[in-house]
Structures are given as structure tokens and as C-alpha cells.
A and B are shown apart, each in its own frame.
Chain A
Amino acid sequence: KAGVTQTPRYLIKTRGQQVTLSCSPISGHRSVSWYQQTPGQGLQFLFEYFSETQRNKGNFPGRFSGRQFSNSRSEMNVSTLELGDSALYLCASKVSDNEQFFGPGTRLTVL
């Protein structure tokens, strides 16, 4: 069974731009969560989607948004990028018992 995939793996943007990251969960997994990982803040929860609905949300500004499609694939969008948005963005999927399976991440660099 294929694991969680994230595209692209690396991305370079400039301040003010917007970016869309994609995550394909493991087949059969309906829950997708997004995390931001930085050296200073560690692993921070962004949001979780389940059956196309946002189920949980972390403490990030409205510039960070997401959605989930009927096939459980999820996208995360960040608008008006800031230097501090440079991070590794991780996606994780799960089907039950709360065990999450993580993708390799997308490393976003904002210049």
C-alpha cells in the first residue's frame, strides 16, 4: 500500500506570494492533518480534515487555509507569504485509533 505523498517536495517563493501544497493520504484514510515544523517552534498543528470537513484547527492566522476533496486528497494554501512561513510542512493521514502516518513533507522557503 502506498504511503502518504506530498507534492512538491521543495518550493521557493518570495514574500507576498501565495502557495498551494498537496497531500495524498493512504488509500482508505479519510482524515488528513497538516503540521508546520520549524526549528524555533517545533511541530505545530495547523488543521485536520475529515470527509471534506475541517474537524480541528490550530492557532494559525487566516492566511493558512485548507480543503479536502471527495477522494480524501487535501490541499493547504498560504496567502501573502511572510519570511516566517519558511518551514517543513507535514501532512499525516489516519483511518482509526489515532495512529497517524506522515508524508515526507514539503520544504517551503520564503525569500
Chain B
Amino acid sequence: AQSVTQLDSQVPVFEEAPVELRCNYSSSVSVYLFWYVQYPNQGLQLLLKYLSGSTLVKGINGFEAEFNKSQTSFHLRKPSVHISDTAEYFCAVIINAGKSTFGDGTTLTVKP
């Protein structure tokens, strides 16, 4: 069975500081990995995805993530956050064409 663990439920950070949101997964087979962002009262929007190839993935809004197979991690990073990045972030894993499994989410709060 696959599972996703987001290690931090809440991450407060000051504006223009760097941030890392951590995600670990468990799977015995190859996976596809995703990060989504959810703003209040909205659906989820894809930030970036890893399907294959380069382990460093760049996404929208200046976010990037690195796939680490040996550590089964897919941490999300941004070198300098803005107030507008305040939202909930979800890590997700899919095996082939199977169902998606989402982490519990990390609430990122950017303070001025």
C-alpha cells in the first residue's frame, strides 16, 4: 500500500525567507509525485510534478521539489516566499494509473 506523510502540519515563515515543506512516501514500486496548493474556498492547483527524468522539478510561482528515491522524499522548496504564498499545500502520490493518495496537508503562513 502507498502512503504519504507530510511531516509538518503548520509552517510559519517570514516574508522573503526560504521555506521547505517536507513530504515522505512509502511505496514498493515506482511512483508519480505531485505537489498541489489550495487557497481558501478553492480547489487544488498543481504546483509541480515528478513523473520521471531529472530529480529536480521546477514548478509555478517559483517553487521547486527534489525527488530522492533512496530517502523516499519529495520536499517542496522556495528560496523567497511572499505573503500570497499563504495557503495549504498537499503532497500526493500515484502508482501508474491508480488512485491518488494525498498527505494531510501543510498550512504555510507567511508573515510580514
Q: Which A residues contact B (CB, under 8 angstroms)?
A: 4, 33, 35, 42-43, 45, 48, 55-56, 58, 90, 92, 97-105
Contact = CB atoms under 8 A, between A and B. Distances in A.
B104 interface: yes
A72 B41 CA distance: 25
Contacts of B49: 97-99
A65 B100 CA distance: 18
Contacts of A98: 32, 34, 49, 51, 94, 97, 100
Interface majority SS (helix, strand, loop, mixed), chain A: strand
Contacts of B43: 4, 90, 92, 102-105
Contacts of A48: 99
Interface residues of B, number: 22
Contacts of B42: 104-105
A26 to B, nearest CB: 12
Interface string B77-88: 000000000000
Given A98-B32, A98-B94, A99-B49, A45 B44 contact: no
